[in-house]
Amino acid sequence: MSNEEALQAMRTGDFEKAAGLLGPIVEENRFSSDILNHAYTLALHQSNSGDLPIAAFRIARSLSSTKPGIAADYFQRAMLTGIDQKQIQEVSEWQGTLATEGIHKPGREVRTDRVAHVMGCFLPGHAPSLYVQLLARSLKQQGVRSHVFTTEWTSSWFFNPPGVVQSDPPEVDAEVTVARVDGDFFERAERIGEAIRASEIDILLYHCGPSEQITVRVAALHPAAIQINVNHAEEVSADLFEGFAHLFQNGLERTLLPNRPKRWIPLISDIEDRLKTSTPMSRSELGLESAGTVSATFGNLFKASEAVHLETITRILREQPAHFHVIAGAGDPTPIRNYFEGKGVIDQVRFVEHVPDIAGMLGMVDIYLNSFPVSAGQSILEAMAASIPAVIRKYPHATHYNVGAELAGLPELLADSEDDYVQITGELIREPAFRLRCGAELKTRFQAEFRPEGWGAKYVDFINEVVAGVGG
């Protein structure tokens, strides 16, 4: 078995064979070859192998002391494909041990009239981007200016095209700085940290979870006096922040650093205003004239690409030949497209890339099929506001996987298993009255709980609490 034989299998697209050949080679080399490590994990990814998480984790561990910038890349590959909570905690602790000892201090009283939002990417239709757009606008109404710094954490990543930034900044009440994507993860983080220090902004809001290794590394550099982790689903457990804002109550309840200032500031959406001004997209634009019913999944495509989610969608499409499914969101749709082609249901699937705002798409959708195990958040609210019933896979309350169920809160639409998910979706497809009733109940809940009034003031109050707590 030669290296060349394995790489030839990669070139010809025989990824399963390539993975089988490369596994023993990288073990024998003790993960010393960057080229073979990359080829091995890419082959595992392309063949949908369940061995990818542990393989990537072992490679990362072997490089963590000698090549930390590359190790972070492999830790990210492992975290996004399914390592356990203990291993995730190990990665967070590793990031913490490499944290900069000297926190950047401004040499003056901390200014609270400016904040920076540090986020993975910033582009139209992306749920965290919509969140930051709305937050910057709300903060401006409170006299606080915003600056957005992206980290491009999945740009030039192992299954995405090299050298291409993901961000395409939408209109926002803020200055925007998009990160460069050359270099290893730590080199990229260092440039972002330098840009933040040069901005002389004292308060950073990190919109990220532990899997975003470049973003977490920026936090480890501590380029500003006050750092707050905005927990969109799962908080960063490394001790890098002065406070934590939680979008979901279950995040507040399971915080890993309970002695730090924390606040539950519920997720909101301005979708009602956007629905009034959006240009509706017709089904004919997507070739859906013959569709009996249409479902959709919106959001970052890495959430929608989990095999268990795709297999469940496949079951629904096979059982319902007149039903079609639409997928829209940031990221590379190729793995999802390849999966549905392999299952023979690609003719019932439509992909919409780089949509500036999903508001215009909601009128064509009958059912929202939430991603799992990694749940959407903002997309669920937007479906609720448009009276679209959302089918959601339920998980134990004290996990970030259950945020979708927390938002929707309608027991009839919460599935305890994949079989339940398929059954509930089938009932919604077959029974229009059931769809209408569930959609109406979700809209009522949205209007009662998730409108944006008073939202910016809640953030300003929490920021002032954190600053006061550290003697700002």
User: Does 330 share its domain with 418?
Assistant: yes
DSSP state of 36: H
Q: State how far the Cα of 355 lies from the Cα of 168, in Å rounded to an integer.
A: 11
User: Does 292 share its domain with 258?
Assistant: no
| Contact indicator for 459, 265 with CB cutoff of 8 Å | yes
Considering just the CA atoms, what is the radius of gyration of the chain in Å? Answer: 22
User: Does 52 share its domain with 124?
Assistant: no
User: Does 142 share its domain with 175?
Assistant: yes
Q: What is the pLDDT of residue 1?
A: 52
Q: What is the pLDDT of residues 345-384, one digit of tens each?
A: 999 999 997 777 889 999 999 999 999 998 988 899 999 9
Q: State how far the Cα of 41 lies from the Cα of 44, in Å rounded to an integer.
A: 5
Tokens describing residue 186: 């730590």
Q: What is the pLDDT of residues 3-38, one digit of tens each?
A: 889 889 999 999 999 999 999 999 999 999 999 999
Q: What is the pLDDT of residues 191-244, one digit of tens each?
A: 999 999 999 999 999 999 999 999 999 999 999 999 999 998 888 988 999 999
Q: State how far the Cα of 178 lies from the Cα of 129, in Å rounded to an integer.
A: 13
Helices 52-63 and 68-79: angle between axes, nearest 10 degrees: 160
Number of domains in the chain: 3
User: Does 284 share its domain with 329?
Assistant: yes
- The sheet carrying 293-298 orders its strands as 349-352, 323-328, 293-298, 367-369, 390-393, 414-415
- Evaluate whether residue 107 is within a structural domain: no
Q: What is the pLDDT of residues 59-86, one digit of tens each?
A: 999 999 999 999 999 999 999 988 998 9
Q: What is the pLDDT of residue 30?
A: 95
Q: What is the pLDDT of residue 103?
A: 66
Nearest Cα neighbor of 207 from 119, 330, 126 is 119
For residue 244, list its beta bridge partners. Answer: 229, 262
User: Does 279 share its domain with 423?
Assistant: yes
User: Does 219 share its domain with 282?
Assistant: no
User: Does 433 share its domain with 461?
Assistant: no
- Evaluate whether residue 108 is within a structural domain: no
- Evaluate whether residue 93 is within a structural domain: no
User: Does 261 share its domain with 121?
Assistant: yes
Q: What is the pLDDT of residues 254-274, one digit of tens each?
A: 888 889 999 999 999 999 999
Question: How many residues appear in the chain?
Answer: 472
- Evaluate whether residue 53 is within a structural domain: yes
pTM: 0.82
Q: What is the pLDDT of residue 102?
A: 59
User: Does 338 share its domain with 432?
Assistant: yes
Q: What is the pLDDT of residue 48?
A: 87
Q: What is the pLDDT of residues 280-336, one digit of tens each?
A: 999 999 999 999 999 999 988 888 888 999 999 999 999 999 999 999 987 789 999
Could you tell me the CATH number of the domain that includes residue 215?
3.40.50.11380
Can you give the residue range of the structural domain that contains 206? 114-268+452-469
Nearest Cα neighbor of 402 from 206, 257, 235, 248 is 248
The percent of the chain in helix, strand and coil, each rounded to the nearest 5, is 50, 10, 40
Residue 176: band (very low, low, confident or very high) from pLDDT cuts 50, 70, 90: very high
Q: What is the pLDDT of residue 303?
A: 86
Q: What is the pLDDT of residues 139-170, one digit of tens each?
A: 999 999 999 999 999 999 998 889 999 999 99
Q: What is the mean pLDDT of residues 397-407?
A: 87
Tokens describing residue 157: 């990543």
User: Does 458 share its domain with 405?
Assistant: no
User: Does 312 share its domain with 363?
Assistant: yes
Residue 101: band (very low, low, confident or very high) from pLDDT cuts 50, 70, 90: low
- Evaluate whether residue 304 is within a structural domain: yes
Q: State how far the Cα of 192 lies from the Cα of 190, in Å rounded to an integer.
A: 5
Query: Would the pLDDT of 472 be above 60?
Result: no
